[in-house]
Structure 1
């Protein structure tokens, strides 16, 4: 019972029980409670919010970079397998239209059409290499004689030109070069051994690439279904749609790059033929394959063409060949690349240059070759997953291939996933809905 002039203990304890944490003391105004659904204003601490945000971003970036570095290291260790599989993907994108055309025109089964496409590809590559080899065999003798004449003219110019070098000085330089070559015989032998190992790796990689290309063409959809089936059920459809768009981007890049490389090879090869250079056909083939490396390949192959013209026919032909190379490169850089390649990969030229440079630093020629298609596919997939669809015309009518008929691996994976889902449903029915859900909520989880 309370008395006048004295407060009841229950009355004094009530505000502390009903108030927020750190309730106001007697005589102090009570702090207003935050509105429902809104976060309370953070109180200032010893670390400023900007530093906290910078630290949060920093450790996340460190984790991302570590994961990327670990992935690159794994790819480098398995490059003998990874590179042929990547080449097989590019060849599959290139040959898929031919396989569909053979199925439609000749009424062939997919396995037979895929085999014919691979055989035609091998015949085309063998024909190009044969033509280039014959040209090299026929022109190497003439090229060697002209190179010897060029070296003789260079020695005469050094002795009779403005440098006025004596014969003794020139002979001393030649002797030093011969001694250096003799002293590096061990290095040359080890280099030859490494070349032999590299040739073995190339042969093994070629077989792996052809094998994978054939099976990608025959049963690529079944393999993709197996890969998607390994993911949680809720993410399969989005991954499938993102993969479709990445595949379209890879196909557009491959076909466009072949067109650009063909234009470069025809232009520089025709210029070499007009100048009657002894190795016009090998130069055209070299330019074709070198053009698959943006910027770097065009510069290197063009420099080789100019050097051949200089050695065989002198400065005038070299300057004319340089003009032809620059003209072809201008056509590629200002017409083909912006309209064709820019539309295919949707990457700025500065981004392409930086990606090629980074790829060459990480993995050499292989990195420079695959840097642009990888960046283009990653760009398309990430944009789609973040709600920016580059190919809205594809739609979502082609759902994830849950079942591939006649593919036992996919069937077993689907059966295991279905069994796990049925067990999870039985467990949910037995124990009731999870906390925070209602009986009408959809099941959560894979």
Structure 2
């Protein structure tokens, strides 16, 4: 009994002495004042922001590094999400008209494959059908170009032209090893492309079948307090992505029809393949339009002459100006809610980091992130009450309610 009372008294005295010990261990308040006086407030604020920005930048750098390393998985998944943003509403529409789910999904997938395959088949068939005429015209164009080099203002001699040709042949022979390795890399790229295509198709199929379950799992990964914000931000980003895909298809169709019709009226060969390339290239903002437009002008120059090429250039510029000053501000700007300067910077950064795939996904990623960040920063999700119901889009389902889990907890 005495020992227990002694331990109690000792513990009480230790508790009473604890504030005095902590006060003795802390530096005098004058030292803090001297430090604060020596370091300006702006410097201390800048230092506080600096290490936080460095931490955030490091996390972003690691994320980008992982995405680049896993690009053969990430790119097909992003393609699947873009395709799903187009096919999910179509499949949902069919199901609302009492189509069985399996039939609606099958029709959606087959429709997408039929459209893409049909465009590629039509373009390849047009090229094969006119291959003989194209080969003959290529020889004529080369002879005219060679005559212009010798008889034109440059006045190259036949010996000089032959010397240039010999240099090209020698360079090709000297770099034969590089060509072989390049052919092997092309084979590897084709294999990666086929594997990525299969992965994108399977991912799209699974999103159409169980997209609700996938999203419910993603929401449950986050802490309970964050689920309401993730729920609403996901809905906002998904709606923006759907709008982007629909508007991009509309813009690409207008570009393809305008440039393809101009090439047809000018009787430029390969008018249909040019229109198909313009349609596909329009999904890569800025870069795709420039490359496909230049190709149309080049074909007109080679096979139709100088003035048809000038008219073709005028048609391309007119279509691109209508897209840039009418379609993009009125349609695309409303759909993605990103300033044109932001679009240019996003495409440039995406091209620098990941080439063509980066340019392709830069705008939708920037648009989705912009909407999601604005939604979370707005704080409207905190005002909701009750269990979190994930959006009614077919890609989402209601998150199972758990004890003590309320939206905005």
- TM-score under structure 2 normalisation? 0.85
Helix, strand or coil at the partner of 1:293: coil
Instruction: Determine which of 347, 367, 378 is the counterpart of 1:387.
Output: 378
Q: 2 CA distance for matches of 1:388 and 1:369?
A: 31
Helix, strand or coil at the partner of 1:148: helix
Please give the per-residue CA displacement for 1:25-80, whole angstroms capped at 9, x wherever unaligned: xxxxxxxxxxxxxxx99984211111111111122111111111110110111111
Mapped pair 1:320 → 2:311? yes
Identify the residue that residue 238 of structure 1 maps to in structure 2: 229
The alignment's C-alpha RMSD in Å is 2.9
Instruction: Determine which of 144, 156, 179 is the counterpart of 1:153.
Output: 144
Q: 2 CA distance for matches of 1:376 and 1:166?
A: 56
Q: 2 CA distance for matches of 1:274 and 1:42?
A: 82
Helix, strand or coil at the partner of 2:338: coil
Mapped pair 1:339 → 2:344? no
Identify the residue that residue 429 of structure 1 maps to in structure 2: none
Identify the residue that residue 111 of structure 2 maps to in structure 1: 120
User: How far 1:112 moved relative to its partner?
Assistant: 2.4
Q: How does 1:89-108 map to 2 (within 5 A)?
A: 89-105=81-97, 107-108=98-99
Return closer, same or farther for 1:322/1:335 CA change in 2, 3 Å cut-off: same
Mapped pair 1:72 → 2:64? yes
User: How far 1:139 moved relative to its partner?
Assistant: 2.3
Q: 2 CA distance for matches of 1:176 and 1:102?
A: 62
Q: How does 1:116-265 map to 2 (within 5 A)?
A: 116-265=107-256
Q: 2 CA distance for matches of 1:42 and 1:340?
A: 59
Q: How does 1:237-386 map to 2 (within 5 A)?
A: 237-386=228-377
Helix, strand or coil at the partner of 2:284: coil
Q: 1 CA distance for matches of 2:210 and 2:316?
A: 43
Identify the residue that residue 400 of structure 1 maps to in structure 2: 389
Q: 1 CA distance for matches of 2:143 and 2:386?
A: 71
User: How far 1:277 moved relative to its partner?
Assistant: 1.6
Q: 2 CA distance for matches of 1:290 and 1:145?
A: 28
**Bigger RCO (CA 8 Å, 6+ sep):** 2
Please give the per-residue CA displacement for 1:130-169, whole angstroms capped at 9, x wherever unaligned: 1001011122332222222222112212222222222211
Instruction: Determine which of 78, 84, 91 is the counterpart of 1:86.
Output: 78
Return closer, same or farther for 1:48/1:234 CA change in 2, 3 Å cut-off: same
Instruction: Determine which of 44, 49, 62 is the counterpart of 1:57.
Output: 49
Q: How does 1:29-68 map to 2 (within 5 A)?
A: 44-68=36-60
Return closer, same or farther for 1:139/1:46 CA change in 2, 3 Å cut-off: same
Return closer, same or farther for 1:344/1:210 CA change in 2, 3 Å cut-off: same
User: How far 1:187 moved relative to its partner?
Assistant: 1.4
In the alignment, is the contact (CA less than 8 A) between 1:159 and 1:166 conserved in 2? yes
In the alignment, is the contact (CA less than 8 A) between 1:241 and 1:396 conserved in 2? no
Return closer, same or farther for 1:97/1:307 CA change in 2, 3 Å cut-off: same
Please give the per-residue CA displacement for 1:196-229, whole angstroms capped at 9, x wherever unaligned: 1111111111111111111111111111001111
Q: 1 CA distance for matches of 2:202 and 2:58?
A: 33
Q: 1 CA distance for matches of 2:170 and 2:197?
A: 40
In the alignment, is the contact (CA less than 8 A) between 1:225 and 1:400 conserved in 2? no
User: How far 1:104 moved relative to its partner?
Assistant: 2.2
In the alignment, is the contact (CA less than 8 A) between 1:142 and 1:278 conserved in 2? no
In our comparison, the structure showing a higher alpha carbon Rg is 1
Q: 2 CA distance for matches of 1:304 and 1:244?
A: 40
